[in-house]
Amino acid sequence: MQIATWNVNSIRSRQQHVLDWLAKNPVDVLCLQETKVIDQDFPLEPFINAGYHGYISGQKSYNGVAIFSRQLLEDISYGFADIIGSEKTEDLDDQKRVISGVYNGVRIVNLYVPNGSSPDSEKYLYKLRWLALLKTYLSHIKTSNIPEFCVCGDFNIALEDRDIHDPVGRENHIMATPIERAALQDILSIGLQDTFRKFTAETGHYSWWDYRTRGFSRNRGWRIDHLYLTPQLYQQAQNCWIDREPRTWEKPSDHTPVIVEIAP
């Protein structure tokens, strides 16, 4: 089984990119983030014609997540509340950032973690609240009748210095502050492992490059798109890689796909 994650930075702007990529890379499950479109305007039909079932949770101009799968998903949930109840979510489901479903006995959790803007902003505090609730959400999933799961998406956090082209001063930079990293490590402590690092240890491998300052051509990137697996799935993982090719296309997303292959 192959599962891919990709922040497309507007599905209507990148629809053909995604379809072209799927034609060359017919993964079993594709998780998209930052779709930036309300559900009724999502261009579903081309993906259905390409052989995929689509599950979407979007909002106008911002955020938005979607899952495309070769087979029908089971037990689909939208937001945090479907799993942990609305009384615990407060305002954290207002933005469409979470969707999950079960594929061949594995729960796929697709996330678009808030960026946080800057460490001195209200958005940063929102991000930390969101991450704390994410741990509660994933802890509930861990104790469900489907304990094996994949958590993927745009985490907007570079977990280690080797995930940044130049980590000097990163402790004051959004997506790499010690508090953000500690929050993500706390989430992973429930039993999730970074699948990309099972196969690739060195620096220089990134999934996001700023549009400004010729980030991609100079490979001045960050690895902030992740695939985390529970222990059994981690053992079954055969490969995990970043596909840089779509970032070379005309008018690309600033992110590129990350893919994991899991043995039966």
Residues written for the chain: 264
Whether 154 is a known active-site residue: answer yes
- Among residues 114, 121, 119, 117, the alpha carbon closest in space to that of 93 is found at 114
3-state SS, the chain, equals CEEEEEECCCHHHHHHHHHHHHHHCCCCEEEEECCCCCHHHCCCHHHHHCCCEEEEECCCCCCCEEEEECCCCEEEEECCHHHHCHHHHCCCCCCCCEEEEEECCEEEEEEECCCCCCCCCHHHHHHHHHHHHHHHHHHHHHCCCCCCEEEEEECCCCCCHHHECCCCCHHHCCCCCHHHHHHHHHHHCCCCEECHHHHCCCCCCCCEECCHHHCCCCCCEECCEEEEECHHHHHHEEEEEECCHHHHCCCCCCECCEEEEECC
The catalytic residue among 28, 154, 194, 254 is: 154
- Among residues 135, 91, 85, the alpha carbon closest in space to that of 111 is found at 135
- Among residues 258, 239, 234, the alpha carbon closest in space to that of 247 is found at 258
Whether 112 is a known active-site residue: answer yes
The catalytic residue among 55, 103, 112, 206 is: 112
Q: Which residues carry out catalysis?
A: 112, 154
